[in-house]
A and B are shown apart, each in its own frame.
Chain A
């Protein structure tokens, strides 16, 4: 709405966001957990005078600390840029509501950069205890960035008592109903991902002696084990998400149910494997075990992130803004141009001139052209024509009457769809355009 439309062929904007977001979140969580893993392992090795483990950590810290950190930084900007391209109205609201929280997070980013580079530069050059403290500073700052950003992410699904411009609005938004459980889930997930990564490191690197590998794997299992608490925490989060999202989890959205199931099963396998090995004190890891560990950790994490992204639909900010960028009823009074009323009275294209071919007016287009403009304004952000979430295969077997009927009731038929934002005439034009795609 109002902004030019960033057309992502085949993938569609929403899948591009999901892919960048999941990749970034995976790397960033791994980075947070790795900070703790390395700091913990170093502290223990210093106390025990374990030079072999210290040498191992020094050799591989670059791989498990700096690489994920840099990738996390760039993909973090990547998710920000991608959302701005695909959903500028949504990112704008989030920036304006949370600017000082993002600014506080930026301070933590600065601490992270300084501490992680100094951690490398000073290895073996300052007292071991001081060096370890630098590592803890990095770990602490990383965890705090997660604590802040999750407030914004959880707000999007559970805004709670937030109302724009109300006294204390930002605090109500930050301390929203799902904030505490999801923050704890993320912290535990970060530790578990780092644990899985450390298992793989111990299995695949050459040159380290067996005792060092076993110590690394032993600590890695101890970082995975608390992840069992994710199950009750997810139960807590489930209890406070909107009823609409609860129904999706319970089966109204089959894809979400399937992905959620995959996630839960993978997490259970990860935990059981770690628990069994820890109980048997079996710290020798084969490369197959390591691969399975990393794979189930990735599937568990990716599935839960996918479900989290999916549960928000049809909203970007629950009850406030739809995923199309169209303002919902609760935001109508704030919408300076009155988009919510204008789209209903004058049509969705009237508030999205960029949906038209350059230099053309809506009235100058034939019916199919008008329908395509409506599709670009109202559908393109989530649906491509032939790629991900494609409309062509959907409508191929539908009659025009079915399409027209669904446009009236799509938000009732499918919980993840927003109500059609435009006029009846636009519905007719869109129906004609969708029918033309069947050929």
Chain B
């Protein structure tokens, strides 16, 4: 590898202690994944119900009331995704930007895919509102488009943490997806299975709160339960596919091993919790399962960062970058954040009765 190809870290240094940016990156990434789960899982439910809904009015009603949520979930996922992208640039900008540029038009094209997914979901919402059947093509196409976006994001993430491959990627030519990481396929498979499972859980919660018809609970958990099992299998595959040296580095990285165990335990524990929720009633059970799943996603977001630090350890350490925190600026953000949560809470409170109607 030509170390000369790795750009220097930003000349302004870090605007915050690394732990703060890392914590916010992981938290917002887990929230982003949760709403992506809402979109992907919800769309998968529409697809699964597309044929059955013709003969089953309950399922038809479920699809009709689920479709308006999907453009909203996608908008939330896109907006929530801005924050982790912001913090990854703060922490690892020189690796992130280089991967962006090597992917080139693919990276830019991902936004076109998101726009296309939004248009498909929106079109589906309006077809349903007009009483027209959704069909198979719309949700299938939306899922394919979202899956492609996931591949591009994973390609970027793996390329950014593999500077030793840049020379070869460059020689192959710019504007190509990076598929050289052995963990790429399990990474995408794990993400998509986790999204579908999360989306199923969200549908169950929405049904339990009256925002979706009662069938949403059965159908949501029915999709979530098997996918939680698949998620665990893909999680183990993902870890097994990591190069041995990288896995060892992950375990040696401060907190890396503990995070891996935390994520594994969460992804394991969420399965029996799901089975209990399937048997029990009330809102508490699906909420508890979703809580465990979120804990797993959060642990994976932190593990993912530890994995990146482990992979980059031969060439870069965050501790080498001087930090120059602007605390007054951070305080302004904190005030806006708290006020923003208050406003969002007020908006939801005002709208909840209408949404249940």
Q: Residues of A at under 8 Å CB distance from B? A: 2-7, 70-71, 73-74, 77-78, 81-82, 84-85, 88-89, 91-93, 95-97, 99-104, 106-115, 117-118, 121-122, 125-126, 130, 133-134, 137, 141, 164-165, 168-171, 327, 331, 334-337, 353-354, 358-359
* B136 contacts the other chain (CB 8 A): no
* Given A96-B90, A134-B351, CB of A78 within 8 Å of CB of B11: no
> Which residues on the A side are within 8 Å of B2 (C-beta)?
353
CA A130 to CA B346, docked complex, whole Å: 11
A-B contact pairs, 7 of them (CB 8 A): A73-B79, A92-B10, A92-B97, A96-B93, A106-B83, A107-B340, A331-B11
Q: Is B241 an interface residue (CB 8 A)?
A: no
Report B146-177 CB contacts with A as 1/0, cut-off 8 Å.
00000000000000000000010011001000
Interchain CB contact under 8 A, A111 and B340? yes
The proximity string for B residues 253-274 relative to A, scoring 1 for CB distances below 8 Å and 0 otherwise, is 0000000000000000000000
**Which of A77, A88, A104, A137 is close to B333, meaning CB atoms less than 8 Å apart?**
A104
For window 308-340 of chain B, which residues contact chain A by CB distance below 8 Å?
324, 326, 328-330, 332-333, 336-337, 340
A7 to B248, CA, bound (A): 39
Judge whether A100 and B11 touch: CB under 8 Å. no
Per-position binary interface string of chain B over residues 116-146, scored 1 when its CB falls under 8 Å from any chain A CB and 0 otherwise: 0010000000000000000000000000000
Instruction: Give the distance in Å from the alpha carbon of A96 to the alpha carbon of B323 in the complex.
Output: 11
Among B37-45, B70-78, B286-294, B299-307, the one that faces the other chain is: B70-78
CB of B108 closer than 8 Å to a CB of A: yes
CB proximity of A311 to chain B, nearest CB, Å: 24
A277 vs B267: C-alpha distance in the bound complex, in angstroms? 66
Contact call A96/B337, Cβ cutoff below 8 A = no
Whole-angstrom CA separation of A310 from B9 in the bound complex:
28
Q: A96-B13, A126-B353 are in contact. List 7 more A-B contacts (CB 8 A).
A: A77-B82, A96-B90, A100-B330, A101-B332, A108-B336, A113-B72, A335-B11
> B100 is contacted by which of A7, A81, A103, A109 (Cβ under 8 Å)?
A81
Q: A96-B15, A106-B82, A126-B351 are in contact. Are A3 and B97 (CB under 8 A)?
A: yes
In the complex with contacts A3-B97, A7-B174, A78-B111, A115-B347 CB distance below 8 A:
yes
B69, chain A: closest CB distance, angstroms: 9
Q: Say which residue of A5, A99, A122, A334 sits within 8 Å of B11 (CB atoms).
A: A334
Q: Is the CB of B328 within 8 A of A171?
A: yes
Contacts of A104 in B (CB 8 A): 332-333, 336-337
Whether the Cβ atoms of B101 and A3 lie closer than 8 Å is yes
The distance in angstroms between the C-alpha atoms of A133 and B349, with both chains bound, is 13
**Residue from the list B72, B100, B102, B347 in contact with A84, Cβ < 8 A:** B100
User: Footprint of A on B, CB under 8 Å?
Assistant: 2, 4-5, 7-16, 21, 24, 68, 71-72, 75-76, 78-80, 82-83, 86-87, 89-90, 93-94, 97-98, 100-102, 104, 107-108, 111, 114-115, 118, 167, 170-171, 174, 324, 326, 328-330, 332-333, 336-337, 340, 343-344, 347-348, 350-351, 353-355, 357
- A118 near B108 with CB under 8 A, answer no
Are B76 and A92 touching (Cβ within 8 A)?
no
Q: Would you call A84 and B86 a contact (CB within 8 A)?
A: no
Asked if B343 and A74 make an inter-chain contact with CB atoms under 8 angstroms apart, the answer reads: no
Q: What's the nearest-Cβ distance from chain B to residue A134, in Å?
A: 6
CB of B104 within 8 A of CB of A6, answer: yes
A147 to chain B, nearest CB (A): 12
B127 to chain A, nearest CB (A): 15
Q: Given A99-B16, A110-B340, A126-B351: A88 and B11 within 8 A (CB)?
A: no
Residue of B whose beta carbon sits closest to that of A140: B343
Residues of A within 8 A of B89 (CB): 84, 91-92, 95
Beyond A3-B7, A7-B174, A126-B351, whether A74 also contacts B114 by CB under 8 A is yes
Interface centre among B21, B330, B344 (most CB of A within 10 A): B344
**Contacting residues, chain B, for A118 (C-beta < 8 A):** 347-348, 350-351
List residues of chain A with CB within 8 A of the CB of B114: 74
Take A96-B14, A118-B351, A134-B351 as given contacts and tell me if A88 and B340 are in contact as well, using a CB distance cutoff of 8 Å: no
B12 and A100 within 8 A (CB): no
A134/B101 in contact, CB under 8 A: no
Judge whether A97 and B104 touch: CB under 8 Å. Answer: no
- Taking a contact as CB atoms under 8 Å apart, the answer to whether B101 and A5 are in contact is yes
Could you tell me the distance between the alpha carbons of A155 and B89 in the complex, rounded to whole angstroms? Answer: 20
Given the contacts A126-B354, A334-B11, A134 and B347 also touching, CB distance less than 8 Å? yes
Check if A74 sits within 8 Å of B344, measured CB to CB.
no
Given contacts A84-B97, A99-B86, contact A336 B11 (CB under 8 A): yes
CB-nearest residue of chain B to A4: B101
* Residues of chain A lying within 8 A (CB to CB) of residue B68: 121
Contact flag A106-B86 (CB < 8 Å), given A70-B118, A100-B326: yes
